[in-house]
A and B are shown apart, each in its own frame.
Chain A
Amino acid sequence: MNTSNPQAGHLNALTTRQTRALFGLIVTTLVAAAVACASGSFDISLWALLKGNASALEQSVFNQIRVPRVLLSGLVGASLGLSGAALQGLFRNPLADPGLIGVSAGAALGAALIIVLGSQFAVGATLGAFLLPVAAISGAALVILLLYIMTRGFGYQGVTYMLLVGIAVNALASVGIGVLTYISDDAELRSLTFWSMGSFGGVTWPLLVPALLAITVALLMMAPAARALDLLQLGEVEASRLGVDIVRLRYRVIFSAAAAVGASVSLSGMIGFVGLIVPHLVRLIGGVNHRYLLPGSALAGAGLLISADLLARTLIQPAELPVGLITSAVGSPFFLWLIFRMQKL
């Protein structure tokens, strides 16, 4: 790097502040993950585990319950945070959030269809594990397609337009879920209710694997879009003048957001506001460039949901709160504050 030239590194590198922010987020997320693995209604000594003199019970709680759960909450948080950041960039709308614009609701409807009607299809357990995420991803993709049509190809129509569409989509999806609730039997109703409030409980490795795959692929697909998303903030015409193929960028971001959100919803239900809050916090800490914002939002989302899940299962132990309740409790006042601050828009 040219030292006589302070701007020389600006092309690819993160600023010092952004590097520090990312480093801080990594540390915070790891600490949160370690604490979350150790605590709960049954405390595990990580130190004993490392030394290898933990009891068999501690071992199995750690391997079969805590690690998958923390891994899942981290991954779901990462995909919601990253999808929120990418959608806010793609739509040039600071209020875009997979939940608010109805994408999560579409995924939820897809998943609910399988939870209630899935028993009608005689499929094996392995295939069944894939069926739920596939249905949820399809639901998310359908909603994004609807948004595409409503905004005439994601043209910029003002910040509120897409939120209004989101309200309508959310209402439509809840009609669908309502009908499914009505026709479901007792067992289906139970799992539907628990699932729809958003929870990381009851995760097992076989359930985790398909969604893990979908989420990882989505995260990797999103990463190369960072510069194009930056350029897009100048407007679509300007971005294409600078060499961005807008249509391909849209497909990339939308497909990966649908996959990430769909897979997340299929495993943990609708967890609101993470995709909205996280990118804003990350921007406040270190700036708006997507090469920083995308990884930052993935990390912060992971850290946030791991912590929220830790609270959800320790606040009223041995009982458990739905994690969606906690994120909404934090997120909705934040949303109000955002609206208040953005009155000029």
Chain B
Amino acid sequence: MTISAAAVAVEIDGKCLLNDVPLCIEPGQIIAVVGPNGAGKSTLIAAIAGDITPTEGIIRHHDNDLQTLSFLDRAAIRSVMAQSQSVVYDFSVLDIIAMGWVRGRDGESARQFGAAVSAIVEECAIAELLGRTFNSLSGGEQRRVHFARALMQLWRPRGSANSAYLLLDEPTANLGLAHEVRLLKKLTALAADGIGILLVVHDLNIAAKFADKIALLHSGRMTCIGAPKDVLTAERLSKVFEIPISIDPNPLTIKYY
């Protein structure tokens, strides 16, 4: 029961954005995708999510070829928090969060909805935003609401055997420090509950601190994937990011986490 990509290549308008990329996300695992701008990080998320069809290779969700799964099946397996969205009409924050509910609308699942909303609103500390319209929120507040919506989509009754996955593209952009820490802690807790997580981050420190595995992308290729200490070497990072990077195991450590 994993999400996996084998030899995935994506070509758009004759430009090769991803080439021969392998990846496997297991339940409970956090994989951070890092790499310079234009490395193909967002394309990788989009391909894994099923937004774009790979030109070559195959993506499997729970052993099924992603292309054979219906949109609803996919929505039940993975949830995506994207970089930014605009909403045309004045939906309330609660409306937006409720949009994440993909578990059916009658009987038992409708009853679970209320419990899920209360729990998630509390975890994300967005109770004070609930009554407002989404468009009146700041960028950071909108991202917190989108995160809550992504959690709604992942929500499962306790003890449910089905594994689920969360894909995040730059989840900490625009977030204040406190909310960034809260989000990262929540990701760790989700992983402990068996959710597989793939996140794109710019901050290598966050990647090193929170990920079980780091996937280093460079010009559409997976340069290296493995444990943070193996992937994040000064020599490799300097080469990929084209600036001298040194790694210093904590002289003065400021810990927020």
Interface residues of A (CB under 8 A from B): 2, 5, 7-12, 92-94, 227, 230-231, 233-235, 237-238, 240-245, 283, 287-289
Contact = CB atoms under 8 A, between A and B. Distances in A.
A11 B82 contact: no
B91 A288 contact: yes
A218 B143 CA distance: 38
B118 A7 contact: yes
B85 A8 contact: no
B105 A235 contact: no
Contacts of B153: 242
Given A5-B114, A11-B110, A240 B98 contact: no
A131 B82 CA distance: 49
A7 B127 CA distance: 11
Interface in B115-129: 115, 117-118, 121
B156 interface: no
Interface stretch (B69-77, B173-181, B241-249): B69-77
19 contacts: A5-B117, A7-B117, A7-B118, A7-B121, A8-B114, A8-B115, A10-B98, A94-B88, A231-B99, A234-B96, A238-B80, A238-B85, A241-B51, A241-B79, A243-B71, A244-B71, A288-B89, A288-B90, A289-B91
Nearest to A9: B114
B101 A11 contact: yes
Contacts of B85: 234-235, 238
B155 to A, nearest CB: 12
A231 B88 CA distance: 11
A233 B101 contact: no
Contacts of B100: 242
A5 B99 CA distance: 18
B51 A7 contact: no
Given A231-B99, A233-B89, A8 B111 contact: yes
Interface string B46-67: 0001110000000000000000
Given A234-B87, A241-B51, A288-B89, A7 B99 contact: no
A242 B102 contact: yes
Interface residues of B, number: 39
B89 A237 contact: no
B165 interface: no
A184 B130 CA distance: 61
Contact of B70 (A5, A231, A245): A245
A312 to B, nearest CB: 32
Contacts of B111: 2, 8
B110 A12 contact: yes
Given A11-B101, A235-B86, A242-B99, 12 more contacts: A5-B114, A5-B118, A8-B113, A92-B88, A230-B99, A238-B85, A241-B50, A241-B80, A242-B102, A243-B76, A243-B102, A288-B95
A229 to B, nearest CB: 10
The winner among B49, B74, B88, B111 for most chain A CB atoms within 10 A is B88
A245 B114 CA distance: 26
Contacts of A237: 51, 82
Contact of B98 (A11, A241, A245): A11
A129 B118 CA distance: 56
Nearest to A231: B99
Contacts of B151: none
Contacts of A12: 105, 110
B94 interface: yes
A294 B79 CA distance: 28
Contacts of B71: 240, 243-245
Contacts of A234: 85, 87, 96, 99
Contacts of B95: 10, 230, 288-289
B91 to A, nearest CB: 6
Nearest to A237: B51
B168 to A, nearest CB: 12
Contacts of A245: 70-71
A292 to B, nearest CB: 11
Contacts of A227: 105
Nearest to A241: B80
A10 B99 CA distance: 10
Nearest to B82: A238
Nearest to B117: A7
Contacts of B76: 243
Q: Which 10 A-B pairs have the closest CB atoms?
A: A8-B114, A243-B75, A5-B114, A243-B72, A288-B89, A7-B117, A92-B88, A11-B113, A2-B114, A241-B80
A336 to B, nearest CB: 21
